[in-house]
Amino acid sequence: MSKMAQDYNAINLSQGFPDFDCPDRLRELVAHYLNDRKNQYPPMAGILPLRQRIAEKITALYGYPADPETEVTVTSGATEALFDAIQATVGNGDEVIVFDPAYDSYEPGIKLAGGIAIHIPLSLPDYHIDWDRVRAAITPRTRLIIINTPHNPCGCILTQNDLDTLAALIRDTSILVLSDEVYEHMVYDNRTHLSVLSHDELKSRSFAVFSFGKTYHATGWKLAYCVAIPELTVEFRKVHQFVTFTTSSFVQYALADFMQECPQHALELPAFYQAKRDQFCELIKPSRFSFTPSQGTYFQLVDYSAISDLDDMAFVKLLTQEKGVAAIPLTPFYAQAPNTRIIRFCFCKDTATLENASSILCAL
């Protein structure tokens, strides 16, 4: 969809990346370390100062005293971390439960490991997990359950009850959890992000994946990290070592300094992005789209049933090619898509971008 937006000179509210830059001070630090000869291989798990800053953050936010030596691994993006965790745990014939609509990297990683993805649709209209369906789907072959909170593409979040129910379901099993938490700092309306690392039971059987790119408006740097207990981290690093081995050195040094100098950046993100969500929702309120404001992420789902009977792929093509605004269809995120008319817009954009796009959307 980003290529289509470029080809048709459309406003790109499809792929999830900001159209504004990362913080000035962070760019200064990157330039400093690039020119300070920090250009050779860093340690496989990431430079220790960065892992220490990560551990401090995880302890402060989630009460989990992560050991930077044995429990924190820096990766080349969250997609690599997700892949590494799957490859480290899933074998031939193992079953992995995923929730649809699901981020599209999950199933390829499962298949490459020889596993089988068991798809459970989130329940409409609020995209909650039906835990009775999860209970029924668990078999002796279930090896891993992948959760995503805040959720891409739906913007919903998991509650304490969700985590407690998950813990109870897998309590007497060997099932592990892979928790995709890359939008951890984008939770709105006084809600709180609940990490598996803050849960008494789940923290000892989970891989938790986080993203620097999402947090620092620098998605192109492809830098992320995974936190897991030592036994799981050992297996995780066996895969990481032969996927990317390590990750850009000078950016790691810059992030370590920035996290120490500017810890408020991450803490201010909920308010920053909620303002953008609120602005976008207010701008499209006069339109014929129907929607409920997103609980998290920088995505907003809208229902276009009052505008068109086209399927979502056909509708976003028309919207991009003929109207000049690009969006993402929801059905590609499903194994078996429901008969809905829902698409996803990305609102991590400058005010002018949102205003220009909304004027087009309100005219539909």
Q: Cα–Cα distance between 174 and 33 in angstroms, integer?
A: 44
Of the chain, the percentage scoring pLDDT greater than 90 comes to: 97
pLDDT band at 17; cut points 50, 70, 90: confident
For 288, the enclosing helix (H) or strand (E) is none
pTM for the predicted model, two decimal places: 0.96
Q: What is the DSSP letter of 180?
A: E
Query: 249-261 vs 48-62: helix axis angle to the nearest 10?
Result: 40
Nearest-CA neighbor of 128 among 164, 156, 97? 156
Asked whether the beta carbons of 164 and 196 are under 8 A apart, the reply is: no
Q: What is the DSSP letter of 206?
A: E
The two tokens of residue 24 are: 């000035």
Looking at residues 330-344, what average pLDDT do you find?
94
User: Percent helix, strand and coil across the chain, each rounded to 5?
Assistant: 45, 15, 40
With the C-alpha atoms ordered 167, 181, 74, 3, is the resulting torsion angle positive or negative? positive
Superfamily of domain 2-22+265-361, CATH level 4:
Aspartate Aminotransferase, domain 1 (3.90.1150.10)
Q: Which 3 state secondary structure label does DSSP give 205?
A: coil
Pick the CATH number of 37-261 from 3.40.640.10, 3.40.50.150, 3.40.50.1000, 3.40.630.10: 3.40.640.10
pLDDT, tens digit, for every residue of 285-332? Answer: 999 999 999 999 999 999 999 999 999 999 999 999 999 999 999 999
- Domain range summary for the chain, segments of one domain joined by +: 2-22+265-361, 37-261
For 146, the enclosing helix (H) or strand (E) is strand 142-148
DSSP 327-360: -EESGGG-SS--S--EEEEE--S-HHHHHHHHHH
Q: In CATH terms, are 2-22+265-361 and 37-261 the same topology?
A: no
pLDDT of res. 122: 97
Angle at the Cα of 219 (from 329 to 195), degrees rounded to 5?
80
pLDDT band at 212; cut points 50, 70, 90: very high
pLDDT of res. 1: 87
